[in-house]
């Protein structure tokens, strides 16, 4: 079991040192555990270099097979050891970048106070993953991105992407009155996980436009995008909930708001085809408690 946990941690972190920190082991112990398992399996699970660690094709197939099974074993042990209704262990959640603060303010702070025996581990990243294969209890994504075979619970209401800039920037460069006017502005772009730049999608009265603006700077992190816009370096297209304070204070000014249509907000999702740990059920119940009208279920929880 320890060797399997080590393999999964190295796969998640792409690093022996990162896995050691996650598991509370020495790097040498992690390396020895992987080497011992590889020797018994007679197959190399990881390609190693001085700069990187990556799964081999055989390692990828192995991890995909053992991750769900190990998760079931872990959940069964927790259920037997602490009782099915006692939240304990580590709650691992995969979430989009930039959402950890929102979650902390809205849900996780109360969860942590209510269930001190649970350790909360949030991993933020832009790529979509298989939460079961990568050892997560639950995921958080926009409603449109939740896999069909998952149970989804509403975390937020609908929100918008807003075109924003500082008042000083708009004074210098002018306020766009139509999306076409944006072509005369420098933008702060979002670098997507596939490497491309996010296309701004605007819509009004059935007219849909996809804008590819001149990009002055590009980041794959929302805080950096917001900071660049706040510095007056360009115009941005940022999720409304992420800039609520700046909008309220006047530090950022929204433009073209009739073209910024609402879409489904964030959803907490988790697999419903297996035992749901008490720590996950407790989080779901808290979300329902805080937002009693917000639950969206695609199937019955088992």
Percent of the chain clearing pLDDT 90 (strictly above): 43
Confidence band of 135 (pLDDT split at 50, 70, 90): confident
State both tokens at 220.
Answer: 């794959």
Q: Note the pLDDT of residue 77.
A: 67
Confidence band of 257 (pLDDT split at 50, 70, 90): very high
152/70 Cα distance (integer angstroms):
23
Q: What are the pLDDT digits (tens) for 48-107?
A: 887 889 999 999 999 988 887 887 777 666 656 555 567 888 899 999 877 877 788 778
Pairing of strands 236-239, 200-204: unpaired
Angle (CA) 282 119 156, round 5°: 50
Which residues have C-beta within 8 Å of that of residue 60, sequence separation ≥ 6?
none
Confidence band of 300 (pLDDT split at 50, 70, 90): very low
Q: What are the pLDDT digits (tens) for 163-181?
A: 999 999 999 999 999 999 9
Same domain, 165 and 81: no
Residue 28 lies in a domain: yes
State both tokens at 55.
Answer: 């799964």
Q: How many structural domains are present in the chain?
A: 2
Residue 195 lies in a domain: yes
Residue 240 clears pLDDT 70, i.e. is over it:
yes
Q: Note the pLDDT of residue 269.
A: 93
Q: What value does the mean pLDDT of the chain take?
A: 86
Residue 227 lies in a domain: yes
The helix/strand count (H/E) of the chain reads as 10, 14
Residue 22 clears pLDDT 70, i.e. is over it:
yes
Residue 248 lies in a domain: yes
Percent of the chain clearing pLDDT 70 (strictly above): 92
Helix (H) or strand (E) holding 162: strand 161-165
Q: Examine the fold and report which residue of 54, 86, 118 is the final residue of a domain before the chain moves on.
A: 86
CATH number of the domain enclosing 181: 3.40.190.290
Residue 296 lies in a domain: no
Helix (H) or strand (E) holding 211: strand 207-211
Residue 93 lies in a domain: no
Residue 292 clears pLDDT 70, i.e. is over it:
no
CATH number of the domain enclosing 69: 1.10.10.10
Same domain, 166 and 254: yes
Q: Examine the fold and report which residue of 53, 86, 119 is the final residue of a domain before the chain moves on.
A: 86
Range of the structural domain that residue 25 is part of: 1-86
161/167 Cα distance (integer angstroms):
18
pTM (predicted TM-score):
0.63
Residue 218 lies in a domain: yes
Using CA of residue 73, residue 77, residue 80, residue 82, what is the dihedral sign?
Answer: negative
Residue 94 lies in a domain: no
Q: What are the pLDDT digits (tens) for 190-209?
A: 887 777 888 899 999 989 99
C-beta atoms surrounding 109 within 10 Å: 11
Confidence band of 298 (pLDDT split at 50, 70, 90): very low
């Amino acid at each position: 079991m320890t060797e399997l946990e080590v393999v999964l941690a190295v796969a998640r972190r792409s690093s022996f040192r990162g896995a050691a920190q996650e598991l509370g082991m020495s790097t040498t112990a992690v390396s020895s555990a992987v080497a011992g398992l590889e020797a018994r399996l007679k197959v190399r699970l990881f390609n190693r270099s001085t700069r990187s660690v990556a799964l081999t094709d055989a390692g990828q197939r192995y991890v995909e097979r053992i991750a769900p099974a190990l998760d079931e074993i872990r959940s069964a042990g927790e259920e037997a050891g602490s009782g099915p209704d006692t939240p304990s262990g580590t709650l691992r959640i995969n979430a989009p970048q930039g959402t950890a603060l929102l979650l902390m303010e809205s849900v996780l702070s109360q969860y942590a106070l209510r269930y001190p025996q649970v350790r909360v581990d949030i991993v933020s990243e832009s790529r979509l993953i298989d939460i079961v294969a990568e050892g997560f209890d639950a995921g958080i994504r926009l409603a449109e991105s939740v896999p069909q075979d998952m149970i989804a619970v509403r975390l937020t209401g609908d929100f918008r992407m807003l075109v924003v800039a500082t008042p000083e920037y708009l004074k210098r460069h002018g306020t766009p009155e139509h999306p076409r006017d944006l072509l005369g502005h420098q933008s702060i772009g979002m670098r997507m996980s596939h490497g491309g730049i996010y296309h701004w999608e605007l819509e009004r009265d059935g007219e849909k436009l996809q804008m590819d603006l001149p990009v002055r700077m590009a980041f794959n992190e929302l805080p950096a995008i917001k900071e660049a816009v706040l510095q007056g370096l360009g115009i941005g297209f940022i999720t409304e909930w992420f800039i609520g304070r700046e909008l309220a204070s006047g530090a950022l000014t929204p433009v073209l708001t009739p073209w910024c249509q609402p879409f489904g907000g964030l959803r907490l999702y988790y697999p419903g085809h297996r035992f749901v740990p008490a720590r996950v059920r407790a989080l779901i119940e808290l979300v329902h408690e805080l937002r009693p009208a917000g639950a969206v279920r695609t199937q019955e929880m088992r």
